[in-house]
Amino acid sequence: MARESHKQVSAFDAKTHLSSLIREVEGGQSFTITRRGSPVARLEPIHDQGGDVRDLLARFRAVRQRIKGDINIRELIDDGRKY
């Protein structure tokens, strides 16, 4: 699903128009809620937690390719357990 850009909305407007914002979020729109011009929260769709396993694996592979050198996951896990 293509994700639309974030729109900004003030906290007052978010409170006043929450029902219509929720309808837009159901349609895929995301909002950044601001207070006095500073971002304080996001209102965005909840994506299916199950997701596509193939997509998840592809993202893990992409992260793995960005890591340089030989990494031993077991050593990292064991090293973390020392603390």
Q: Number of folded domains in the chain?
A: 1
Full residue range of the structural domain in which residue 13 is found: 6-80
* pLDDT at site 82: 63
Question: Which of 21, 23, 22, 27 minimizes the C-alpha distance to 4?
Answer: 27
* pLDDT at site 50: 63
**Residues in the chain, pLDDT under 50:** 1-3
Task: Tell me if 42 is assigned to some domain.
Answer: yes
Residue appearing with tokens 């909305």: 9
* pLDDT at site 69: 78
Task: Tell me if 37 is assigned to some domain.
Answer: yes
Distance CA 31, CA 13 (A): 12
Task: Tell me if 1 is assigned to some domain.
Answer: no
* pLDDT at site 12: 96
* pLDDT at site 2: 47
CA distances from 48 to 2, 22, 52, 72, 81 (A): 14, 17, 9, 32, 33
Task: Tell me if 52 is assigned to some domain.
Answer: yes
Look up the CATH number of the domain holding residue 16: 3.40.1620.10
Are 11 and 33 a contacting pair, CB within 8 Å?
yes
pTM of the model: 0.52
Task: Tell me if 56 is assigned to some domain.
Answer: yes
